[in-house]
Amino acid sequence: MLQKVTGIVIRTVNYGESNKVVTLFTEELGKVAMMARGAKKPGSRFHASSQPFVEGVYIFPFSRGLAQLKSSDVVTSFPEIRKDVERMAYAMYWLELVDRSVEDRVQNRPLFRILQDALQALNAGMDADVITHHFELRMLHLLGVSPVLTGCVRCGDVTDPMYFSVTSGGFLCAKHQEEGAVRLSERLAKLLYLMSKHELSEFRNVPLSDESRILLRQLFDAYMESYSGLRLKTKRVLDQMIRLHLNED
* Residue ranges binding Zn ion (CB under 5 A): 152, 154-155, 157, 173, 176
Smallest gap from Cβ 144 to Zn ion, in A, equals 23
* Closer of 174 and 246 to Zn ion (Cβ): 174
* Closer of 13 and 155 to Zn ion (Cβ): 155
DSSP for residue 159? P
19 Cα distance to chain centroid? 27
Name the phi and psi angles at 239, rounded to 5. Answer: -60, -40
* Closer of 98 and 153 to Zn ion (Cβ): 153
Smallest gap from Cβ 56 to Zn ion, in A, equals 49
Long-range contacts of 235-242 (CB under 8 A, 24+ apart): 235/93, 235/96, 237/89, 237/92, 237/93, 238/89, 238/90, 238/92, 238/93, 241/85, 241/86, 241/89, 242/86, 242/217
State how far the Cα of 154 lies from the Cα of 43, in Å rounded to an integer: 60
* Closer of 157 and 239 to Zn ion (Cβ): 157
* Closer of 118 and 173 to Zn ion (Cβ): 173
State how far the Cα of 182 lies from the Cα of 122, in Å rounded to an integer: 29
Smallest gap from Cβ 139 to Zn ion, in A, equals 27
Residue closest to Zn ion (Cβ) = 152
Is residue 109 helix, strand or coil?
helix
Smallest gap from Cβ 226 to Zn ion, in A, equals 21
Are 130 and 208 in contact by the 8 Å Cβ rule? The answer is: yes
42: preceding bond cis by omega (within 30 degrees): no
The distance in angstroms from the start CA to the end CA of the chain is 55
Smallest gap from Cβ 36 to Zn ion, in A, equals 54
Smallest gap from Cβ 173 to Zn ion, in A, equals 3
* Closer of 125 and 156 to Zn ion (Cβ): 156
